[in-house]
Structure 1
Amino acid sequence: MKCPICGKPAEPRYRPFCSKRCADIDLGRWMSGSYRIPADETEPPENPPREE
């Protein structure tokens, strides 16, 4: 398994990363919002109008 940050072989102690440095880089990216899942900003109404 390769480290997702730098591509070096993963160390069991820091798996899936190769070092604490790469693990900290990944954590920083999560906390800063660099990792996002695109979403549609418009939300459907909770109770759509009923058709009679």
Structure 2
Amino acid sequence: MKRPVVNCPQCGKSVAWDNSNPFRPFCSERCKLIDLGQWATESYRIPDTGKDSEKQENDPSGSEK
């Protein structure tokens, strides 16, 4: 059976997706740590949809009526 191949999210290098790669989906520990560093420095952010912030503006207690 052919092993699935994915691209490293950091550098784009093709990587086999199997148990022999302990850093998957990354190609190396270096790419994995670079990605972790970007999360730690808040370079990556999850977008705010605005729904929760609108509720808080309308009801400062945060509870729904």
- Aligned AA (1:28): G
> Which has a greater percent of strand?
2
Q: Provide the residue aligned with 2:41 in structure 1.
A: 32
TM-score by length of 1: 0.73
Gaps in structure 2 of 5+ consecutive residues: 1-5
Are 1:6 and 2:11 an aligned pair? Answer: yes
Between 1:4-13 and 1:39-48, the stretch displaced more is: 39-48
**Displaced runs of 4 or more, over 4 A:** none
Aligned length: 49
Deviations 1:13-50 (A, max 9, x none): 210000011000000001001110221383412346x7
Gaps in structure 1 of 5+ consecutive residues: none
Q: Please give the root-mean-square deviation of Cα atoms over the aligned residues, in Å.
A: 2.1
Relative to structure 1, is the Cα distance of residues 47 and 20 closer, same or farther in structure 2, using a 3 angstrom cutoff? closer
